[in-house]
């Protein structure tokens, strides 16, 4: 049995250990990027599932990588500069998650 733990891909942090999930997988997360402004705060990050052989689930068998937006401040909306920053953060997180799968 191979007990070597694979490296996390560039830009990823281990969110759990393989042992926590019966050595089936571990979760990965990107760093969180917060968009702050006068009305609300939005945090954007990516997540993925990594198998013990180092592969990243691409959605064909398990969960595909995901991009998350956590909104604080309710439904107050955001100013246009925040919206542009959010759009850039979403694209960057999606690009990062795509690179994890293609490594």
**Could you report the per-residue pLDDT of 25-46, keeping only the tens digit for each?**
999 999 999 988 776 788 999 9
Establish if 46 belongs to a structural domain: yes
Domain membership of residue 31 as a residue range: 13-102
Looking at the structure of the chain, the number of domains it has is: 1
> How far apart are alpha carbons 86 and 39 in whole angstroms?
14
In the predicted model, what is the mean pLDDT of residues 6-22?
Answer: 93
Please tell me whether residue 85 adopts helix, strand or coil conformation. helix
The more confidently predicted of residues 3 and 2 is 3
Establish if 28 belongs to a structural domain: yes
Q: Of 3, 2, 54, 4, nearest to 28 (Cα)?
A: 54
> Is pLDDT of 62 > 60?
yes
Q: Which pLDDT does position 46 carry in this prediction?
A: 97
Q: What pTM was computed for the model?
A: 0.85
């Amino acid at each position: 049995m191979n007990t070597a733990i694979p490296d996390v891909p560039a830009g990823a942090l281990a969110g759990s250990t393989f042992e926590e999930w019966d050595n089936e997988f571990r979760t990965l997360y990107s760093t969180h990027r917060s968009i702050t402004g006068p009305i609300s705060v939005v945090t954007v990050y990516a997540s993925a599932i990594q198998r013990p052989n180092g592969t990243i689930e691409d959605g064909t068998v398990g969960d595909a990588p995901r991009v998350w937006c956590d909104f604080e401040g309710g439904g107050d909306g955001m100013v246009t500069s925040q919206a542009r920053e959010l759009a850039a953060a979403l694209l960057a997180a999606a690009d990062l998650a795509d690179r994890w799968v293609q490594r």
